[in-house]
Amino acid sequence: GDAAIFHPSIRGSDIYEKIKTIPESAPKSLEKKSESTIDVLKTQTPISLVRNFIAEGTNIIIFGENHTKSSQRTAIKNIIDSLKENEIDYLALELDVIKQNTINALLD
């Protein structure tokens, strides 16, 4: 069952559009944030989430982010770009465990 909820074709921009539709008046409670976090985690594979975040992040300024963090993300992007296929599979597996732990923590 779990694999069925993944849609790797969904891009980061689609997630952004989805987040944009949350009305400003919506209560900014921890529960609401947890639900939207789980929603995003369920619509993308971890590796594509990371790839989209890093790729988009190198071309935009993230609010509240300093130059050091931006440089670190660019360095991480370069590392991911240099990975071979089996290394990417391993990274994806690691990220999947992190994703599942995050969902479990939010559901507790």
| Cβ contact 102:41 at 8 Å | yes
pLDDT grade for 23, boundaries at 50, 70 and 90: low
Q: How many whole angstroms separate alpha carbon 42 and alpha carbon 20?
A: 18
Residue 42 has pLDDT above 70, yes or no: no
Task: Count Cβ atoms below 10 Å from residue 42 Cβ, excluding itself.
Answer: 13
Q: What is the mean pLDDT of residues 86-94?
A: 74
Residue 18 has pLDDT above 70, yes or no: no
Q: What is the mean pLDDT of residues 17-44?
A: 59
Per the prediction, the chain carries an average pLDDT of 64
pLDDT at residue number 28: 53
Q: How many whole angstroms separate alpha carbon 106 and alpha carbon 39?
A: 11
3-state secondary structure of 10: coil
